[in-house]
Each structure stands twice: as structure tokens, then as C-alpha cells.
């Protein structure tokens, strides 16, 4: 009987073995996950999104071998809130990580605000599922709460086993040769006030000495003391920005204070590859959070002058090379088919970032607006690329609304975990869409905030294919018609710098992705219906919001010396432990 059945069984076995590996997902239950996030990169800066002058062959290769998203949306147009949403899968408003004032990001390592300890990041869930979890590069989600050693906002308290990088963000103050960037206008006002107080004090003293001003020495002493106290109060923070904010850490240890910018790129790349090599025998999560392409655009000599777009283009091309090095490390360890790779930017390019005639910010292609603008596409539409050979179909382009918040449930489900049930998760699992088992994104509405202010809402009308977008608030560009807020440096979220629209400006992004031609009741028969539908969605959305502590309040944002990370005895904080090694 066995001999009779063998000729029948043998072809069946060979047939099963020769089946194409279309569903490796059922075999690879816990893939490695590598998340690559650029800083301030515009969607128009990447070759596979239409740029034909900046060379990005490695990012383009990811798109060719994987899935490219054309409507990938950041939950906020600035670093801190966007990354908080990415890590938690929730609008930053829900965790208190969006601003009620003009301080819209974390300003100091020694501030007390940051990603709240009660938020559950995807890293924490993957850590519980047995993953080795590492963050290399930028954090910008806070460090301490009450003392310089509590590390309540630190990456290691949010699910990462290993951290190497900047707890803050790269700024021009980190480069001694660059013009200071941080709070530039406010710093000028402080200098001017100091000079005026000093001049007034000096005039009073000279008047007393010459007998022209009858004032007692006690008053002059108090006035001089006040002048000195005023200067020391603000200069102790703003005068040492490079020492307080431009630091590198390994886990809880400060390794460079201030950071040595000439070697930062090579160290971040070395740490990333080392993390892959150390953890190749078990599932790992690597979040490589690039310092590129944020000013001051740290670029090694090898890449200077190589692009056709000055220093910014050089910096983007170097980042692309770093992406290639990470992909090569994955290939070298034989992990390509068991690793999901994701590439994105945290928000749109910074149009206003210029020095003299040099453009130091990114380009957002055909999309209107840029960084800091909560409603216009240029501030929130970013590159989004996934690669997982054998699981995700290569060369696929998906033109459906997706969000950076979607990474949260996607990687949690891939790791075999469950999203928290005690809070609202705004992201949606992308695997069905990426694999092609569904046609449409799960998102019907996406809400676009600028700080805590709702600026725009997107409605994906799936039955018609229309993507309606209503703008309730838009920034006033300066100078008029310029396309950005060049006179301010950043577009504001509220106040005199914005326009409120009633009825809202309405666009159909499926026909007008550049948001150039607003519709009206006269030109669009569905205008009133669409506005009512979006209005009801806003009401439902607002019912899901609950009050939480404001992490970016003025108190939480200001510099507090007792919270300052320090590798020595405060205030004598300087070290170079990488150089010592």
C-alpha cells in the first residue's frame, strides 16, 4: 500500500515546496523591526517622491523593493508632538504633548515636561514580548521630572533597553561656528534689556559721583544688584546652550558635554550597526532616529559639495548613505527576509530656515506649506516606505491616507502583543493594506492640529474616492504670498498670525493635492453636505478627549538647573568619554 501511494505523495510534497513564499507572515511570527526616521526631511527631497536632483539611491531602493505610501501623514508639524504620537499611536493632545502656547516643543534637557510615564510606547510592548529594543539618535521627549537622576521621561523608562544619542535635538547652537538658533528673538530682547538696565545703572552711578543726580548709595547698590541678578538669571541658561542641550548619552550616562559634532554621524552609524550585530540571534527593534536633516546640517567632509543643493542636499545624501549602510548590515547578517524596514520623516521640511541666501531647510514638492504648519499638506505629508521581502509586494504604491500613528498598532501586532485597551489608540494596523488584502485605509477622518488648536480635518470618502479637507484656521504668510512665514521664522497656531475661516476652506485632495483652488457652495454641489459631515466628526472626536497635564506649559518648558543632566559636578559639566575611549 505504501509503495502504491508513494508516486502520488511525492508530487504533492514537491508542489508544496515549490509554492511561492507569499505568506511568510504566518511563519515569521516576530520579525525584526528597523524604524528609520529623518528629521525635518521634506517629501520633495527624496528621489522616489519626485526629486531628480538630490541623489537618494538607498531610500529609493527601499521603495522599489517594498511599499511606498503617498499620503503618509504626521500627527503634528513639529518634532516633539509628532514623535510623541509616533511612539504612542495617539494624537499628542491626548498625552499633553501639544502646546497651549508658543513653546511648541521641548526647549531644554533641563525642562520638566516630557512623554508622561503613564504612556505606553510600542517599544515597551515589544520589550514585554521578548524583543531587544534600541533607540539610536534623537529623542526630544524629555529627560527628568523632579531631579537630575529620576530620568522619568528617558528612553529607558519608555521601553528601550539601550539608548545612544541626543536626549534633545540638534540645533545650530551645537555648532560653535553657526549663528545661534534657539529662541533667537527672545535672546535678542534679553540682551537689549540687559544693556538698557546696565546703562541706566551706570548713568545713575555717574550722576551720583558728579552730584547731578541726588540718589543714595543704598538705592544704587540695590539697582546694581538687580542688574547683575537679571543678567545671571537668563545668561546661566541661554549663555550655555551648547553645554546644557548639545549632549550625547549612552543609556543614563552623559558621554559628551558638549557633543563633538565632527564625529557624531560616525558614532550614530557605528552604534546602529553594532546593535544589529549584537541582537541578530533574537527579535529586535531598532529605532534609528537620524539627526539629519535638521540644522546645523552636520555633514562629514566626504559628502560636502557633492550635491546640487548646497549643504542641505549634501546632508540628505549623507543620510541616504547611512540608510544604505544599515541595510547592508541587515543583509550581511542574513536578516533581510526576516526584517521589516520602515522609513519616514517626522514632519515636513522647514521652508523658513535660511541664513543669508542659503536655504537650510527642506522642500515639500507640490504641497503647500511646511514645518510648523498644522493644516497645510507640506507640513504634515511625509515619505512613508515599508520593506519586508516575501511578505510585502515589491514595487507597490498605495495612495490611501495613512498616519505615522499607524506604526504603533502595526508593530505591536507583528510582535504578538496587544494594544492597550484602557485608552484610545488613534493608529490603525497597516498590514492588511500593505499586503493588499484590503483596498482602503481604515482611516475615515484624520484631525490636523497646530498645538492644541484644530486647524484642518481630512475626510476619506471611500465610496467615491474623494479626499476632502476642510481648513478652519490657516497661518498668514509673511510677506504676503510668500508661501511661508519668513518674517517670523515659524508660522503660529493662534493669535494675530492666523486667519479663521467660516465656512472653512474646502479642497478635494484627490483632484487638487496642492490645495490651490478652494471649493465653495457655488462650485461644489456637495459643499454643504461635506462640511456638515466633517462638523459631526469633529464633535465626536472632541467627545473622546479628556483633560491631561500640559507637558509643554511654560513651567514645564523653562530651564531648571536642578534637572540639568551633567557629567560632572553641576555647574561644571563637561566631558568627552568617547574621546577617552
Residue 420 lies in a domain: yes
Confirm whether pTM is higher than 0.75: yes
Q: Is the pLDDT of residue 22 over 60?
A: no
Query: In this structure, are 483 and 393 located in the same domain?
Result: yes
Q: Determine which helix (DSSP H) or strand (DSSP E) holds 575, and give its type and residue range.
A: strand 575-576
Q: Is the pLDDT of residue 45 over 70?
A: yes
Q: If you average pLDDT over residues 192-218, what whole number do you get?
A: 87
| Domain endpoint, select from 194, 212, 239 | 239
Query: In this structure, are 190 and 286 located in the same domain?
Result: no
* pLDDT in the model for residue 187: 85
Calpha distance 238→339 (Å, rounded): 44
Is the dihedral angle over the CA atoms 355, 358, 360, 364 positive or is it negative?
Answer: positive
CATH code where residue 337 lies: 3.40.720.10
* pLDDT in the model for residue 395: 97
Residue 13 lies in a domain: no
Q: Is the pLDDT of residue 4 over 60?
A: no
Which tens digits make up the pLDDT trace of 507-523?
Answer: 999 999 999 999 999 99
Is the dihedral angle over the CA atoms 49, 54, 57, 59 positive or is it negative?
Answer: negative
Which tens digits make up the pLDDT trace of 384-400?
Answer: 999 999 999 999 999 99
Residue 467 lies in a domain: yes
**At what angle are helices 407-414 and 79-88 packed, to 10 degrees?**
30
178 falls in which pLDDT band (50, 70, 90)?
Answer: confident
* pLDDT in the model for residue 15: 46
Q: If you average pLDDT over residues 101-109, what whole number do you get?
A: 95
Q: Is the pLDDT of residue 27 over 50?
A: no
Calpha distance 72→351 (Å, rounded): 19
Which tens digits make up the pLDDT trace of 410-426?
Answer: 999 999 999 999 999 99
Query: In this structure, are 256 and 385 located in the same domain?
Result: yes
What's the chain's Rg over C-alpha atoms? 26
Catalytic residues: 79, 140
Starting at the earlier edge strand, list the strands of the sheet with 466-475. 445-450, 453-461, 466-475, 498-508
Is the dihedral angle over the CA atoms 96, 99, 104, 107 positive or is it negative?
Answer: negative
CA distances from 441 to 83, 255, 437 (A): 22, 44, 11
Q: What is the mean pLDDT of the chain?
A: 93
* pLDDT in the model for residue 580: 57
Q: If you average pLDDT over residues 526-541, what whole number do you get?
A: 98
Q: Is the pLDDT of residue 9 over 70?
A: no
Query: And the C-alpha cell for 179?
Result: 549663528
Query: In this structure, are 339 and 413 located in the same domain?
Result: yes
Q: Is the pLDDT of residue 320 over 70?
A: yes
Query: In this structure, are 351 and 232 located in the same domain?
Result: no
Q: Is the pLDDT of residue 279 over 90?
A: yes
Query: In this structure, are 200 and 130 located in the same domain?
Result: no
Q: If you average pLDDT over residues 302-326, what whole number do you get?
A: 97
SS3 state of residue 253: strand
Query: And the C-alpha cell for 86?
Result: 509616533
Query: In this structure, are 435 and 518 located in the same domain?
Result: yes
User: Could you tell me what percent of the chain has a pLDDT over 90?
Assistant: 85
Residue 3 lies in a domain: no
Residue 175 lies in a domain: no
Residue 29 lies in a domain: no
> Residues 129, 416: contact at Cβ < 8 Å?
yes
SS3 state of residue 504: strand
DSSP state of 250: E
Query: In this structure, are 204 and 259 located in the same domain?
Result: no
Residue 8 lies in a domain: no
Q: Domain residues for 412? A: 36-170+246-576
Q: Counting beta carbons within 10 angstroms of the beta carbon of residue 45, is it exposed (0 to 12), middle (13 to 18) or buried (19 or more)?
A: buried
Kindly give, in sequence order, each residue whose CB lies less than 8 Å from that of residue 426, ignoring residues fewer than 6 positions away: 75, 85, 89, 90, 91, 94, 403, 405
Domain count for the chain, please give it. Answer: 2
| Domain endpoint, select from 194, 216, 239 | 239
Query: In this structure, are 391 and 268 located in the same domain?
Result: yes
Calpha distance 493→475 (Å, rounded): 7
* pLDDT in the model for residue 24: 45
Which tens digits make up the pLDDT trace of 424-467?
Answer: 999 999 999 999 999 999 999 999 999 999 999 999 999 999 99
Query: In this structure, are 376 and 309 located in the same domain?
Result: yes
Query: In this structure, are 210 and 330 located in the same domain?
Result: no
Query: In this structure, are 411 and 464 located in the same domain?
Result: yes
Residue 19 lies in a domain: no
* pLDDT in the model for residue 28: 62
Which tens digits make up the pLDDT trace of 303-313?
Answer: 999 999 999 99
> Residues 363, 314: contact at Cβ < 8 Å?
no
* pLDDT in the model for residue 185: 81
Q: Is the pLDDT of residue 581 over 60?
A: no
* pLDDT in the model for residue 7: 46
Amino acid at each position: 500500500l505504501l509503495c502504491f501511494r508513494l508516486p502520488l505523495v511525492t508530487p504533492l510534497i514537491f508542489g508544496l515546496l515549490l509554492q511561492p513564499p507569499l505568506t511568510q507572515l504566518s511563519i515569521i511570527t516576530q520579525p525584526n523591526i528597523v524604524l528609520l526616521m529623518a528629521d525635518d526631511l521634506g517629501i520633495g527631497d527624496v528621489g522616489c517622491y519626485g526629486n531628480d536632483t538630490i541623489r537618494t539611491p538607498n531610500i529609493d531602493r527601499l521603495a522599489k523593493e517594498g511599499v511606498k505610501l503617498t499620503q503618509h501623514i504626521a500627527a503634528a508639524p513639529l518634532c516633539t508632538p509628532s514623535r510623541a504620537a509616533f511612539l504612542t499611536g495617539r494624537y499628542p493632545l491626548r498625552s499633553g504633548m501639544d502646546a497651549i502656547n508658543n513653546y511648541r516643543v521641548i526647549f531644554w534637557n533641563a525642562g520638566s515636561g516630557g512623554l508622561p510615564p503613564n504612556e505606553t510606547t510600542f517599544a515597551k510592548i515589544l520589550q514585554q514580548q521578548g524583543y531587544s529594543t534600541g533607540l539610536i539618535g534623537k529623542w526630544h521627549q524629555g529627560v527628568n521630572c523632579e531631579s537630575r537622576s529620576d530620568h522619568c521621561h528617558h528612553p529607558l523608562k519608555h521601553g528601550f533597553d539601550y539608548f545612544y544619542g541626543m536626549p534633545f535635538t540638534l540645533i545650530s547652537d551645537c555648532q560653535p561656528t553657526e549663528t545661534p538658533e534657539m529662541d533667537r528673538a527672545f535672546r535678542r530682547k534679553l540682551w537689549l534689556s540687559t544693556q538698557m538696565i546696565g546703562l541706566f545703572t551706570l548713568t545713575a552711578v555717574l550722576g551720583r559721583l558728579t552730584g547731578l543726580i541726588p540718589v543714595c548709595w543704598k538705592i544704587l547698590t540695590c539697582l546694581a544688584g538687580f542688574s547683575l541678578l537679571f543678567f545671571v538669571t537668563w545668561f546661566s541658561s541661554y549663555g550655555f546652550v551648547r553645554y546644557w542641550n548639545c549632549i550625547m548619552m549612552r543609556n543614563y550616562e552623559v558621554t559628551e558635554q558638549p557633543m563633538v559634532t565632527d564625529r557624531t554621524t560616525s558614532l550614530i552609524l557605528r552604534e546602529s550597526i553594532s546593535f544589529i550585530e549584537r541582537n541578530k540571534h533574537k527579535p529586535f527593534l531598532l529605532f534609528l532616529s537620524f539627526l539629519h536633516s535638521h540644522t546645523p546640517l552636520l555633514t562629514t567632509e566626504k559628502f560636502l559639495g557633492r550635491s546640487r543643493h548646497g549643504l542641505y542636499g549634501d546632508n540628505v545624501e549623507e543620510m541616504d548613505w547611512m540608510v544604505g549602510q544599515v541595510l547592508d548590515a541587515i543583509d550581511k547578517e542574513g536578516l533581510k527576509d526576516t526584517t521589516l524596514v520602515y522609513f519616514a520623516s517626522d514632519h515636513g521640511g522647514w521652508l523658513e530656515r535660511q541664513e543669508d541666501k542659503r536655504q537650510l531647510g527642506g522642500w515639500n514638492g507640490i504641497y503647500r506649506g511646511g514645518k510648523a504648519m498644522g493644516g497645510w499638506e507640506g507640513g504634515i505629508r511625509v515619505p512613508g516606505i515599508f520593506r519586508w521581502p516575501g511578505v510585502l509586494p515589491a514595487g507597490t504604491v498605495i495612495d490611501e491616507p495613512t498616519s505615522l500613528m499607524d506604526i504603533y498598532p502595526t508593530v505591536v501586532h507583528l510582535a504578538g502583543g496587544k494594544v492597550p485597551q484602557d485608552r484610545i489608540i488613534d493608529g490603525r494596523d497597516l498590514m492588511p493594506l500593505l499586503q493588499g488584502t484590503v483596498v482602503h485605509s481604515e482611516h475615515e477622518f484624520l484631525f490636523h492640529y497646530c498645538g492644541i488648536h484644530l486647524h484642518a480635518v481630512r475626510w476619506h470618502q471611500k465610496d467615491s474616492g474623494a479626499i476632502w479637507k476642510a481648513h478652519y484656521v490657516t497661518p498668514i504668510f509673511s510677506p504676503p504670498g510668500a508661501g511661508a512665514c519668513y518674517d517670523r521664522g515659524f508660522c503660529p497656531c493662534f493669535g494675530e498670525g492666523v486667519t479663521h475661516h467660516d465656512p472653512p476652506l474646502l479642497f478635494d485632495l484627490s483632484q487638487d493635492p496642492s490645495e490651490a483652488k478652494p471649493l465653495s457652495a457655488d462650485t461644489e454641489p456637495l459643499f454643504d453636505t461635506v462640511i456638515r459631515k466633517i462638523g459631526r466628526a469633529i464633535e465626536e472626536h472632541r467627545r473622546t478627549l479628556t483633560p491631561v497635564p500640559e507637558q509643554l506649559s511654560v513651567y514645564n518648558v523653562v530651564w531648571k538647573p536642578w534637572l540639568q543632566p551633567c557629567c560632572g559636578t553641576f555647574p561644571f559639566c563637561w566631558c568627552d568619554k568617547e574621546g577617552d575611549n
